[in-house]
Amino acid sequence: QVQLVESGGASVEPGGSLRHSCAASGIIFSSHSNVMGWFRQAPGKERELVATITNNGRTNYDNSVEGRFTISRDDAKNTVNLQMISLKPEDTASYYCYTKTRLTSREYWGQGTQVTVSS
C-alpha cells in the first residue's frame, strides 16, 4: 500500500519560511516514480500545482512561487521536500504531496498539511 505523509505545515508571519517534507512508503521514488511534486488548495479554490521534480531532476514551478520555493528530492530518505521562503498571505493553503508512477501512471496523494501565512 502506497502512502505519502507530509510534514512541515504551520502558521507563520508574512516573510517567514517553512520546509515541507513528504515521506513515501510502499513506493520508492527513485525507482517507481517519474514525477513528484507539491500542489496546494486554498479554501474555495481548485487544487493547483506548486512545483514538480522529475526522476531525472528537472524542476518546474508555478509562476507565483518561482524564486521563493525550492523543490528537492532525497533518494536516500525516499522523500521529496519543499523549501518555502518569503511567504505571503496568498500562500495560505493546504499543501499536498503527489507522485505519478512510471509504469502505470497511477497517481498518489498525501493527506495534506496546512500552511497559514498571516500577521
37-90 pLDDT per residue, tens: 999 999 999 999 999 999 889 999 999 999 999 999 999 999 999 999 999 999
The C-alpha cell 517519474 sits at: 34
Residues in the chain: 119
Question: Radius of gyration of the chain from Cα atoms?
Answer: 14
Can you read off the three cell numbers belonging to residue 69? 520555493
User: How would residue 31 be classed by pLDDT, with cut points 50, 70 and 90?
Assistant: confident
Contact 17, 84 (CB under 8 A): yes
57 bridge partner residues: none
DSSP 86: S
Across 9-30, average pLDDT: 93
Task: Tell me which range, 21-35, 81-95, 99-113, is most confidently predicted by mean pLDDT.
Answer: 81-95
DSSP 89: G
